[in-house]
Structure 1
Amino acid sequence: MVVDACCVTPPLLREPLTEFAAVEMAKKLKALADPVRLRLFSAIASHSGGEACVCDISGGIDVSQPTVSHHLKVLRAAGLLTSERRASWVYYAVVPEALREIAALLDLNTAALAGVTA
């Protein structure tokens, strides 16, 4: 079985990002660069059904409810989460395409890195 090189080489090593792609990806990475936001994102992504209410994810995170809400707003603005109000609760879900884009960008496996020199 022959695998096309473009399918093996991660996007970062295949060609430079366009300005637009770099700006969009930087928004996502910047949003995830905060430890609280990364924990909230992980809690939502790993929650049963891939969605969670604030009441399900804020336990164990030592910040106030307004701060949690702010962090969730940043994640939504970066295109990483969606939200849906159901009665008095807001449920958050990970945007699958955003997760795939980040995974593809950072898919730097050992074989692909063999050609990169330090």
Structure 2
Amino acid sequence: MTETALPQPSPEQAVLFARVRRMMLMAGLTTAVAIAAVLIAIGYRLFRAEGSAASSDVTAVLPKGARIVSTGVAQDQLVVTLDIGGMTEIYTFDARTKKPTGSLKFVNEP
């Protein structure tokens, strides 16, 4: 078999080939940086997901004679309104950890 002889490129063609190689290198590096950024963002979201932990069961003990009037959620807080012998109390809990964060008591003036 005979091999095809490739002629040497002219100086203008050599400059054009070098420019095309440089542009392809820049495009390849840009693509690699973009793919790395996407993978880093996905990894960050997977490892920083705070709310995806397994839920835990918590039992809260109410004062004697207490009755739950209402419950609600405000931002990251769970709000429970209790009626305790004619007195109204509001308890707040952290929605993620389910730990008490505060209470507010209402009483009637004598």
Compute the TM-score of the two structures, normalised by the length of structure 1: 0.18
